[in-house]
Structure 1
Amino acid sequence: MAFDTSFDEGIIRFTFDNNGYNAISPEVLDGLHEVIGCANANDGVKGIILSGQGRIFSSGYELGTFISFRDRDECLTWSKTREALMYDLFTCKKPVVAAINGHAMAAGLIVAMTADYRIAIDNPRIRIGMPEINIGIPLSNSEAEIMKFGLGSDKNYRELLFSGSQISPEVALQKGIVDELVADGQVLLDKAKAKVRSLIDTPGRAFIMLKQVEKRQVAEYIRKSAATFDWNAYADCFFHEAVVAEMKKIKASMK
């Protein structure tokens, strides 16, 4: 399995656990889809905690998937599947807390930005960033909107996405990209559980409607703009010779 799930005190913990880099594969997307559906449909589920195994939260999408695309149709099918998944995670009815235990890069950071609260371990060696521009990969429609919403400002968006720069958890806290820093993994998990409970365990679970109103405008825009997004130009990027070469180079370095 490329991930692990557990259920404790009414909270689902979803842990990325794939190939040492906690990459997001099709299998991981399927697991997330199931967890989101369970949280939305069951009153007994209070919320979701997202975290990673070891010292990495998630390195992003599995590059092997991108390299293996046979044609544009296959690329678009995969892209639209993760487009829908990110939207569903962003709009999940229940609280979603990102427990950032280590490096959060590329799509790993997008996943963190879907969350309602983000807690990171205070370790200067941890890197948080979006290297896509250095590889030559753009963001899809929902991914870009989720990043703009989560990063909180045009300045943060430009600093991370246009430069491909990486920052520490402390800098991320200063920029408002994460909400809280903790000393270690156990405190991280305890804080994440407490945050889920504090958000949902109120009379009438008002959080659910408050979240819906908070994200409604962005959610509606994502749905409407999907029809005009240039999916063909987006898919073409994955077959550009220089982009493919860069992805292969990175993948080889991760062995």
Structure 2
Amino acid sequence: MLAGRVTTNSRCRMSAVTLTTRPDGVAVLTFDQSGSKANVLTRELWTEFGDALTSLSTRADVTGLVLASAKPGIFIAGADLKLLANAPVPNDPEVRAFIEQGLRVLEQLEALPFPTCAAIDGAALGGGLEVALACDCRICGTNPKVQLGLPEVKLGLIPGWGGTQRLPRVLGVSGMHQASTMLTTGQSLDYHGAVAHELVDVAVEPATLVTQAAYYVLRVDRKDRRARKFYPLSPPWERQRFKPLREPEPGAATEAVRVLYEGERLPLRQAIQLETEAFMQLAGSEESKRLIAEFFNRKGTRG
């Protein structure tokens, strides 16, 4: 179906990000964090990611961008939880700076003058899925390790990089209940579920994933897809239309539902501001710190 071999005609190497350019003008940005089994969204990775996007934004030779990972079975595992575990209290300035840094980079991604695609062949969880949601399209491999989810509620948190707002806009009006379920339970989707719920555009053989993504990204209507994300999901007169299937337990899940249903009637940027303030009240809370500590204990690591 797809013609052409992937070759490189320009290359820029950073410690965690590699940029290559294909003959068709599609740039491929590959995450490969040195010394780590997974790509984790640290302050340093956000900086390198942002610098790469800045360099791409002025290149007239680039026709599209594919985000990929060199880690087997992992796209991006999520945020640097050590920083969140050490937050002394809610609304900590260091945590806010970390969240705002990521939001700025994702705004850069959504402002690029060419279409973008996330090529996912493994876990895209939490912040990893939020990066993918900021792309114009998503393609995943038919890999049993594919997991797409926002599990922050299990850590006493909600997504902080736009996940509560981009997820429902990507899934659409008919996907509001699925978005609510994912946000309140931390449920992940495999590649079958991701395709069925239109969280990804298509699933392909892993060996051809990046090539297929480069082919697909050149055929995406980026203006239409971005418009659908930037505007409210439903107009003000329909603000009572959506209700969760069941009321969640108090805590992070309740906040996720509130932010989801209040944000869907706002423009994206305002909705994300709503999310940020809710996130900042949860990060550094005793409940969140306890759940993050339990997570580290299960993994055998220290926060």
The partner residue of 1:177 within 178, 189, 199 is 199
Match for residue 66 of structure 1 among 84, 94, 99: 84
Question: Could you tell me whether the CA contact under 8 Å between 1:64 and 1:251 is conserved in 2?
Answer: no
Question: Map of 1:70-219 to 2, 5 A cutoff?
Answer: 72-140=92-160, 142-152=162-172, 153-184=175-206, 186-199=207-220, 207=221, 209-211=223-225, 213-217=227-231
Give yes or no for contact 1:98–1:118 (8 Å, CA) kept in 2: yes
More helix, by proportion: 1
8 Å CA contact retained: 2:78, 2:127: yes
Larger radius of gyration: 2
Displacement, 1:212?
5.2
Q: Which amino acid aligns with 1:13?
A: V
Give the one of 7, 11, 18 matched to 1:4. Answer: 18
Compute the displacement of 1:75 (Å): 1.3
Describe the superposition over 1:211-238 as per-residue Cα deviations: whole angstroms up to 9, x where unpaired. Answer: 55444425982334566x3755532322
Alpha-carbon contact 2:130-2:162 (below 8 Å) kept: no
Cα distance in 2, alignment partners of residues 35 and 180 from structure 1: 26
The TM-score normalised by the length of structure 1 is 0.84
In 2, Cα distance between equivalents of 1:175 and 1:212: 19
**1:112 & 1:243 partners in 2: Cα distance?**
25
Q: 1:226 to 1:166 in 2, by over 3 A?
A: closer
How far apart, in 2, do the equivalents of 1:254 and 1:8 lie?
Answer: 41
Confirm or deny that 1:27 pairs with 2:41: no
Identity of aligned residues (%): 20
Partner Cα distance (1:154, 1:63) in 2: 28
Q: What is the one-letter code of the residue matched to 1:178?
A: V
Residue identity opposite 1:75 in structure 2 = V
- What residue in structure 1 maps to residue 260 of structure 2? none
* Secondary structure of the structure 2 residue equivalent to 1:45: coil
CA distance in 1, matches of 2:38, 2:300: 8
Q: What pairs with 1:30-49 in structure 2 (closer than 5 Å)?
A: 30-49=47-66
Whether the 8 Å contact between 2:164 and 2:183 is mirrored in structure 1 is: no
Provide the rounded CA distance (Å) in 1 between the counterparts of 2:223 and 2:193.
31
Deviation sequence 1:35-84 (CA, Å, 0-9, x none): 32233322111121111222101111121222244661111111112122
Q: Distance in 1 between matches of 2:230 and 2:280?
A: 28
CA RMSD across the alignment: 2.6
| Alignment match, 2:29 | 14
Moved more, 9-18 or 207-216: 207-216
Q: Is the 8 A contact 1:38 1:45 kept in 2?
A: no
Aligned residues, how many? Answer: 246
Three-state SS of the structure 1 residue aligned to 2:213 is helix
Q: 1:124 to 1:188 in 2, by over 3 A?
A: same
TM superposition shift of 1:124: 3.1
Alpha-carbon distance change, 106 to 225 in structure 1, aligned in 2, over 3 angstroms: closer
* Structure 1 pair 249–155 and aligned structure 2 pair: CA distance change class (3 A): same
Instruction: Give the SS at the match of 2:140.
Output: strand
- Are 2:19 and 2:30, in contact at CA under 8 Å, matched by a contact in 1? yes
Cα distance, 1:157 vs structure 2: 0.6
How far apart are the structure 1 equivalents of 2:272 and 2:191?
32
Please tell me whether the aligned partners of residues 91 and 212 of structure 1 are also in contact (alpha carbons under 8 angstroms).
no
CA contact (8 A) 2:102 2:161 kept: no
CA shift in 2, pair 1:63/1:4, >3 Å: farther
SS in 2 for 1:198: coil
Give the secondary structure class of the aligned counterpart of 1:248.
Answer: helix
**Structure 2 runs not aligned, ≥5 long:** 1-14, 234-265
1:250 shift after superposition = 2.5
Residue aligned with 2:46, SS: helix
